């Protein structure tokens, strides 16, 4: 009996502590502590105040009573104000990110914003145009031949479109940067500012990479570049890598064949927009892309992040 009572006490202590924390300390205090960008902090703070006013929440504890119906009603109210789709998405994302934090802390059972549809946008990543899903599929299918160049180009285009990499990041990829994490193949991406992120490898990309590497025969050179020039590759020059200019010209050439005047950054915008259109959380997408001004508003330990939650698996062409 004593053992059961002790277990029950252990089960209730964290909940009581977190409930007390939510009641006594405004969520903004800890939530904002994890937002580095001052502009994002200001915008998210205003969005939260606006939502609390709409829902008539006067104390932080009232956030635990919010349901999806409240969020949908707020979205409808925002629509009547004829705000830009990007502004509505940001407001919903701000509230979603707060609830992701509270959910992680077991302060609320679920995120009421999850599943609420958000307005579509033409582009996500700056001014780069995002191409349509049909065009993305056509682009990946253009290098259809089984030559080394064809296999490399198709794998390269898939890596850009399914993982949203910058061209410099793609050029930095080495053979060893494909490796398993928690039983799932990942890409270790070396981003700006020497920041490393780990993106789960899309099954379609993995298959194309395997075909390319089988033909290229440099898999054993783990320290060497993943994507290399197709000429002289079997003459001992295994340390060469395709250049950012080479990637730009490659993408440009295939895009022009479809009548599209776009560059590599448009493929990055396409991946981001596609994930967002399939209801992925904007904070996760920003982390996935490795933006310099990442507006993540929740504590996320990449080592503990479940691979199946990655935006990789929400990209569908």
Span 203-233, pLDDT tens digits: 999 999 999 999 998 888 999 999 999 875 4
| 277 or 190, greater pLDDT | 190
Whole-number pLDDT of residue 273: 82
pLDDT of 156 higher than 50: yes
Whole-number pLDDT of residue 29: 60
pLDDT of 143 higher than 90: yes
What average pLDDT does range 243-265 have in this prediction? 93
The residues spanned by each domain of the chain are 11-118+282-308, 133-278
What fold, for 133-278? Answer: hpI Integrase; Chain A (1.10.443)
Beta bridge partners of 199: 187
Whole-number pLDDT of residue 306: 52
pLDDT band at 15 (very low <50, low <70, confident <90, very high): very low
Beta bridge partners of 186: 179, 200
Q: DSSP H helical segments within the chain, as ranges? A: 2-24, 27-32, 38-54, 68-80, 85-104, 133-141, 148-163, 167-172, 203-216, 244-257, 264-277, 282-289
What average pLDDT does range 1-11 have in this prediction? 40
Whole-number pLDDT of residue 278: 76
Dist. CA 12–CA 297, nearest whole Å? 27
What average pLDDT does range 112-123 have in this prediction? 78
Span 162-210, pLDDT tens digits: 999 999 999 999 999 999 998 899 999 998 878 899 999 999 999 999 9
Span 295-309, pLDDT tens digits: 322 222 333 445 666
Beta bridge partners of 179: 186
pLDDT of 9 higher than 50: no
What average pLDDT does range 263-278 have in this prediction? 85
Whole-number pLDDT of residue 308: 64
Whole-number pLDDT of residue 303: 33
Dist. CA 68–CA 95, nearest whole Å? 12
pLDDT band at 136 (very low <50, low <70, confident <90, very high): very high
Dist. CA 251–CA 297, nearest whole Å? 34
Based on C-alpha coordinates, what's the Rg of the chain? 23
pLDDT band at 57 (very low <50, low <70, confident <90, very high): confident
What average pLDDT does range 46-66 have in this prediction? 86
pLDDT of 155 higher than 50: yes
Span 74-85, pLDDT tens digits: 999 998 988 888
pLDDT of 294 higher than 50: no
């Amino acid at each position: 009996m004593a053992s059961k009572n002790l277990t029950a006490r252990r089960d209730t202590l964290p909940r009581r502590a977190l409930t007390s924390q939510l009641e006594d300390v405004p969520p903004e205090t800890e939530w904002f502590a994890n937002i580095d960008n001052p502009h994002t902090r200001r915008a998210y703070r205003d969005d939260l105040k606006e939502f609390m006013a709409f829902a008539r929440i006067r104390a932080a504890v009232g956030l635990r009573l919010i349901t999806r119906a409240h969020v949908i009603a707020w979205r409808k109210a925002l629509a009547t104000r004829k705000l830009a789709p990007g502004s509505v998405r940001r407001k919903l994302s701000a509230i979603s990110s707060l609830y992701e934090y509270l959910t992680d802390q077991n302060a609320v059972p679920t995120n009421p914003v999850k599943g609420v549809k958000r307005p579509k946008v033409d582009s996500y990543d700056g001014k780069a145009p995002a191409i349509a899903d049909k065009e993305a599929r056509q682009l990946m299918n253009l290098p259809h031949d089984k030559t080394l160049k064809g296999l490399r180009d198709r794998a390269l285009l898939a890596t850009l479109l399914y993982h949203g990499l910058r061209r410099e990041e793609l050029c930095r990829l080495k053979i060893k940067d494909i490796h398993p994490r928690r039983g799932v193949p990942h890409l270790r991406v070396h981003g700006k500012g020497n920041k490393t992120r780990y993106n789960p490898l899309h099954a379609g990309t993995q298959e194309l990479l395997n075909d390319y590497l089988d033909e290229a025969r440099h898999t054993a050179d783990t320290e060497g570049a993943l994507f290399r020039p197709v000429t002289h590759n079997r003459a001992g020059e295994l340390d060469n890598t395709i250049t950012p200019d080479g990637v730009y010209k490659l993408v440009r050439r295939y895009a022009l064949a479809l009548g599209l005047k776009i560059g590599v950054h448009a493929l990055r915008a396409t991946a981001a927009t596609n994930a967002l259109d399939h209801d992925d959380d904007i904070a996760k997408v920003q982390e996935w892309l490795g933006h310099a001004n990442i507006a993540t508003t929740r504590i996320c330990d990449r080592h503990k992040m479940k691979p199946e939650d990655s935006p990789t698996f929400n990209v569908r062409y």
